[in-house]
Amino acid sequence: MNPDLSIAETEKEIIEEFALFDSWDDKYEYIIDLGKTLPVLDAKYKTDENRVRGCQSSVWLVAEYKDGKLFYQADSDAMIVKGLISMLIRVLSGRSTDEIIEARLDFIREIGMTTHLAQTRSNGLLSMVKQMKHYALAFKIKDPVPSKN
Amino acid sequence: MNISLTIPKTLDVTAIRKEFPILNREIKGRPLIYLDNAATTQKPQQVIDAIVHYYTNYNANIHRGIHTLAEEATADFEQTRDVVKTFIGAGSREEIIFTKGTTESINLVAYTWGRKNIRAGDEIIISNMEHHSNIVPWQILCEEKEAILKVIPINDAGELILDEYEKMLGSKTKLVSIVHVSNALGTVNPVKQMITRAHEAGAVVMVDGAQSAVHLDIDVSDMDCDFFAFSAHKLYGPTGVGVLYGKKELLESMPPFQGGGEMIKEVTFNKTTFNDLPYKFEAGTPNIADVIAFKTAIRFIESIGKEKIREHEKELLEYAHQELEKIPGLHIIGKARDKISVVSFIIEKAHPQDIGILLDNRGIAVRTGHHCAQPLMDRFSIPGTARASFAVYNTKDELDELVNGLKRAVKILA
């Protein structure tokens, strides 16, 4: 993430990037390219415990809480899902738990990826978002007043 | 003497396509290419019209009403039973039970015949290429009855290993429930031969015809199966209608499936007597409109002729095999010698889900995933495949588009 930008500003940035494409093929090609840039998740994290349920493809998500902020790492065996994850990480990783919980993530709709939120696709974008927010909630409960430790 | 050769008229696909309004749709700015026919086929206008016609003109609950609408609806509903009877070569109309689909048909047999006849230690044989619908009902039954579920293995081509099947059959075998055509591989199983062997061992045989009824000529009397199940929606008919064929003496000996209206003869609080076949198994108001429209779908198939449709689909399948295999890294899963209308494949370094999404961007509908046959995917050590499946309205041009779409997907994903 870019620490100078808020969640809303990062979302706006992504929406602007997608406005450059006029065909679906191009949009997806870009998403796949984003997926390719996602750092490789260490094999030790690819456990059943870290697996996000409800996906046709395998998705693993790890969250680390540091100095009142939550940092995500994730991976998938499917490239488009990986690209979608990389956008979620760009928007949400490194934010406070409150910011993550309140994030509206309108960019998903704005860039035309709503179909990936539908249950029928079961490709896990919805499960991913839920899981990321669950982590934020869990850490908020553990650390209600984030202290820089 | 002159010898005249009769050249069979080939299928007029252009004309047939005009009967399917949905084929005019555009998906993401491109014409729809529908290659998910093994999941469900599209519906011709006449089937859609039959549903509308029923609701517009003689919607009524059937069998007991004495008014005109009820009589018309009943007659039309029951006519479908006769059409189905002829379509699959059943001995009598009492042997045709309407259900909501193949899954319910199989469950009906598991819950009635199965519960009555399966005991601890008995064996039920299925195969490694079954749809979950022909696995789970038997697993539930086996668990309840402490019976044993045996699985016929398959070879790398996706064919049943019949020697293993022969070895499994024995005095403990009570039921063989086998898929006629595999939904994920397209393999056509030699059911007639398997039924003969099962009967010699004293077992009852259920055939899952979900994928076969639309493509193959079905003659349950000749096949000599005890039960045969299929769904209307895979035969250009409406969703929510299935058929269970059962031999009359077996159906008569079975307890009812669900209790309620229609299936009873007389009810008092002390005792209820059950209705005759087939109504004993049709509790509650059935799916009247869709059953009525189902016969229109069967007539549609018969008006073209199954043989001609088969020829057309065979041509498509061969062409698909030939063209798909030219794509580097693509592997076809399921190369049975006897195979119809389905081509399942994987592409190295490309997840089936990515392939499905990228094809959808070009208006091409294929199915990706495990196809409700996870044990089969495990057999090939793959998480899933992409599957293209064909119907009467598909064309070689559409397959060219599929191949182009795949080539582009491979390029993007690499």
* The token pair that represents B112 in the structure block: 């009635």
Q: Choose the mutation target among A80, A81, A115, A125 for the interface with B, i.e. most B CBs under 10 Å.
A: A80
Residue B406: CB partners within 8 Å, gap ≥ 6? Answer: B324, B327, B330, B347, B355, B359
Looking at residues B340-346, what average pLDDT do you find? 96
Q: B211 and chain A: CB distance < 8 Å anywhere?
A: no
Q: How many CB pairs under 8 A join A and B?
A: 39
Give the number of domains in chain B: 2
The mean pLDDT of chain A is 87
The mean pLDDT of chain B is 95
CATH number of the domain where residue A92 is located: 3.90.1010.10
Query: What is the structure's pLDDT at B4?
Result: 52
Cβ contacts of A80 on chain B, cutoff 8 Å: 353-354, 357-358
Q: B414 and chain A: CB distance < 8 Å anywhere?
A: no
- Under a CB-based contact definition with an 8 Å cutoff, are residues B179 and B211 in contact? yes
Specify the 3-state DSSP secondary structure of B154.
Answer: strand
Between CA B123 and CA B85 the distance in angstroms is 31
Residue B358: CB partners within 8 Å, gap ≥ 6? Answer: A25, A28, A80, B405, B408, B409, B412, B413
> For residue B5, is it within any domain?
no
Between CA B40 and CA B235 the distance in angstroms is 8
Tell me: do B235 and B333 sit in the same domain. Answer: no
Residue-wise pLDDT tens digits, B346-379 = 999 899 989 999 999 999 999 998 888 899 999 9
Residue-wise pLDDT tens digits, B222-241 = 999 999 999 999 999 999 99
Tell me: do B281 and B376 sit in the same domain. Answer: no
Segments forming the whole domain that contains residue A79 = 7-142
> For residue A2, is it within any domain?
no
* Closest residue by Cα to residue B209 from B172, B246, B258: B246
> For residue A47, is it within any domain?
yes
Query: What is the structure's pLDDT at A149?
Result: 47
> For residue B42, is it within any domain?
no
Q: Could you give the angle at the alpha carbon of A23 between the alpha carbons of A18 and A26, nearest 5°?
A: 65
Residue-wise pLDDT tens digits, B133-156 = 999 999 999 999 999 999 999 999
B70 pLDDT above the threshold of 50 = yes
**Interchain proximity B384–A79, CB inside 8 Å:** no
Q: Please, what is the angle between helix B136-145 and helix B102-109, to 10°?
A: 20
Q: State the DSSP code for B280.
A: G
Segments forming the whole domain that contains residue B325 = 13-36+305-413
Q: A125 and chain B: CB distance < 8 Å anywhere?
A: no
Q: Which among A28, A32, A56 has CB closest to B353?
A: A56
Nearest CA in chain B to A76: B351
Give the number of domains in chain A: 1
Between CA B103 and CA B230 the distance in angstroms is 8
> For residue B378, is it within any domain?
yes
- Under a CB-based contact definition with an 8 Å cutoff, are residues B58 and B50 in contact? no
**Interchain proximity A28–B368, CB inside 8 Å:** no
Residue-wise pLDDT tens digits, B15-40 = 999 999 999 999 989 999 999 999 99
Question: Is the pTM above the cut of 0.80?
Answer: yes
3-state secondary structure A21-78: CCCHHHHHHHHHHHHHHCCCCCHHHCCCCCECCCECCCEEEEEEEECCEEEEEEEECC
CATH number of the domain where residue B66 is located: 3.40.640.10
* The token pair that represents A87 in the structure block: 């956008």
**Interchain proximity B351–A78, CB inside 8 Å:** yes
Tell me: do B312 and B295 sit in the same domain. Answer: no
Cβ contacts of A127 on chain B, cutoff 8 Å: none
* Closest residue by Cα to residue B229 from B215, B216, B217, B211: B211
Q: Which residue has the tokens 């050769």?
A: B5
Query: What is the structure's pLDDT at B403?
Result: 98
CATH number of the domain where residue B25 is located: 3.90.1150.10
- Under a CB-based contact definition with an 8 Å cutoff, are residues A9 and A106 in contact? no
Tell me: do B312 and B236 sit in the same domain. Answer: no
What is the value of ipTM here, to two decimals?
0.86
Q: Which among B354, B361, B408 has CB closest to A79?
A: B354
Residue-wise pLDDT tens digits, B187-214 = 999 999 999 999 999 999 999 999 999 9
> For residue A82, is it within any domain?
yes
The percent of chain A in helix, strand and coil, each rounded to the nearest 5, is: 55, 15, 35
> For residue A61, is it within any domain?
yes
Tell me: do B126 and B214 sit in the same domain. Answer: yes
Residue B183: CB partners within 8 Å, gap ≥ 6? Answer: B38, B131, B210, B211, B342, B371, B372, B373
Q: Which among B353, B361, B383 has CB closest to A24?
A: B361
Q: Which residue has the tokens 């669900």?
A: B258
> For residue B27, is it within any domain?
yes
Residues of B assigned a catalytic role: 372
Tell me: do B296 and B393 sit in the same domain. Answer: no
pLDDT band at A38 (very low <50, low <70, confident <90, very high): very high
> For residue B199, is it within any domain?
yes
Q: Which among A32, A58, A81 has CB closest to B412?
A: A32
* The token pair that represents A75 in the structure block: 């991976």
**Interchain proximity A25–B351, CB inside 8 Å:** no
Tell me: do B173 and B55 sit in the same domain. Answer: yes
